[in-house]
C-alpha cells in the first residue's frame, strides 16, 4: 500500500535514428556599395523634470503610505496582544475552577 509504484518501460522494438538534416547552399549576391546614408542620431531620452509641486506630492504620498502601513502593523500587534491576554485570563479561570473542584 505504501510502496511507490514504479512505471515499467516497454522494451524498445527497434533503434530509430533521428532524421537526416539536409543543408542546401544558398547563393549570395553582392551588390556594389552605394554611398552610405548619413547616420541618424539616436533620439534623446526624455528627462523627468520634477516641479516643486510634484516633489511635495511625492513626499506627501510617501508619508501617507508609511503612516497607513504603520497603523496597520500596530493594530495587528495590538490584536495579538489582546488575544494573548484573553487566553491567559481564560487559562487562569479554568485553572482556578479545576483546582477548586479537586479540593471538594
pLDDT digit string, tens, across residues 69-96 = 999 999 999 999 999 999 999 999 999 9
Is pTM beyond 0.75 here? no
pLDDT value of position 10: 67
pLDDT value of position 69: 97
Q: What is the DSSP string of the chain?
A: --SPPPPPPPPPSS--PPPPPP--------PPPPPPPPPPPPPPPPPP---HHHHHHHHHHHHHHHHHHHHHHHHHHHHHHHHHHHHHHHHHHHHHHHHHHHH-
Residue 24 or 92, more confident: 92
90: CB partners within 8 A, 6+ apart: none
pLDDT digit string, tens, across residues 64-76 = 999 999 999 999 9
Q: How far is CA 102 from the centre of its chain?
A: 56
pLDDT value of position 104: 60
Which band of pLDDT confidence, cut at 50, 70 and 90, is reported for residue 11?
A: low
Amino acid at each position: 500500500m505504501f510502496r511507490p509504484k514504479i512505471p515499467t518501460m516497454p522494451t524498445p522494438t527497434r533503434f530509430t535514428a533521428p532524421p537526416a538534416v539536409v543543408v542546401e547552399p544558398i547563393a549570395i549576391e553582392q551588390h556594389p556599395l552605394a554611398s552610405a546614408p548619413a547616420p541618424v542620431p539616436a533620439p534623446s531620452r526624455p528627462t523627468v523634470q520634477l516641479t516643486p509641486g510634484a516633489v511635495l506630492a511625492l513626499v506627501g504620498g510617501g508619508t501617507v503610505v508609511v503612516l497607513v502601513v504603520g497603523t496597520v502593523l500596530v493594530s495587528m500587534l495590538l490584536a495579538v496582544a489582546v488575544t494573548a491576554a484573553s487566553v491567559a485570563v481564560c487559562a487562569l479561570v479554568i485553572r482556578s475552577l479545576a483546582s477548586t473542584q479537586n479540593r471538594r
